[in-house]
Amino acid sequence: MTSPIWQIHEYSASLRLDQFSAKIELDRPDRGLVEVRVGAFSLANAQWLGVAVPSLAGGIERGGPDCYQRGPDLIAAYRESQSWPVRVDVVWRAISPAPSSGLVAGVDLIVSVHTELLDSRPELAVRSDLAPTEILRLVEAPSACFEPCRRESCLPLTFESGGGPGCFVFRLPGVPLSYAEMSHPADFRGAVLAPSGTGPAMVEVRHRLFAQRLEKGVILRARVRGVVVDRAQDLRSVAACYAAFAAAEPPLGT
């Protein structure tokens, strides 16, 4: 197994990790991981783990985001604006999975916010777009119990933070793989599954972050994990991954 490799060129960064590769356009963090490939399979329509940064609404700031690579981390800092005076630091952290875990690849998204204002509302959303054939939601991690989300009759679906884990499995068409996305239980503020405007059969999953107020001098952080797993044991692998993620120590900084 090789170590994850990030390469940065101006406002673009590419990731290569064993069979997995993807690209991030740092001036479009709302799109997240794009041009995703797993081995011989291209997931051309996928957009995973994007962060909509309100201060970029008027376009990329002068000089672009501050970005750099550190080990498995791609780090980008987005400055505050007059209309949204909250600084956002984003880390996409590549995960090298254990061979026995069933995971093919994974990326942790760590988002931090802070402000110079005495009081602000920093709510953000992490979003992913994909075209699954089946969607399931984790109900109980210890028993690996999942329930289906029936797209044709139920979308949009809203999940509240008190109603169970924010963990979803998306079985992908034409490939022996599934993609799962999960909010850390300490950071889960709710999620929505809805039709996506990016194309037919596309679905968007959106995780709410930072529903609380933010005071000057305070840094808030939240974590969302995305993993690619083998289809054959996808639910068992995802449940184990969620349990490990939930038990992980919180990140101390970026």
pLDDT tens-digit series, residues 174-186: 999 999 999 999 9
**For position 59, what pLDDT does the model report?**
57
Nearest Cα to Cα of residue 20 among 123, 92, 87: 92
Following DSSP, what letter does each residue of 187-246 receive, concatenated?
T---EEEEE-TTSTT-EEEEEEE--S-EETT--EEEEEEEEEEEGGGHHHHHHHHHHHHH
pLDDT digit string, tens, across residues 186-208: 999 899 999 887 667 889 999 98
User: What is the arithmetic mean of pLDDT over 162-178?
Assistant: 92
**For position 64, what pLDDT does the model report?**
66
Pairwise pLDDT comparison (124 vs 120), residue with the higher score? 124
CA distance 242 to 11: 32
User: What is the arithmetic mean of pLDDT over 211-240?
Assistant: 88
Work out whether strand 220-230 and strand 177-183 pair parallel, antiparallel, or are unpaired. antiparallel
Token representation of residue 28:
């479009």
pTM: 0.91
Nearest Cα to Cα of residue 200 among 125, 128, 129: 129
pLDDT tier at 47, thresholds 50, 70, 90: very high
User: Domains of the chain (ranges plus CATH)?
Assistant: 5-247 (2.70.98.10)
**For position 204, what pLDDT does the model report?**
94
On the question of pLDDT at 74 being above 70, the answer is yes
Give, in order, the Cα–Cα distances in Å from 141 to each of 128, 165, 191, 207, 232: 22, 8, 18, 19, 18
CA distance 135 to 130: 11
CA distance 122 to 211: 7
On the question of pLDDT at 143 being above 60, the answer is yes
**For position 42, what pLDDT does the model report?**
93
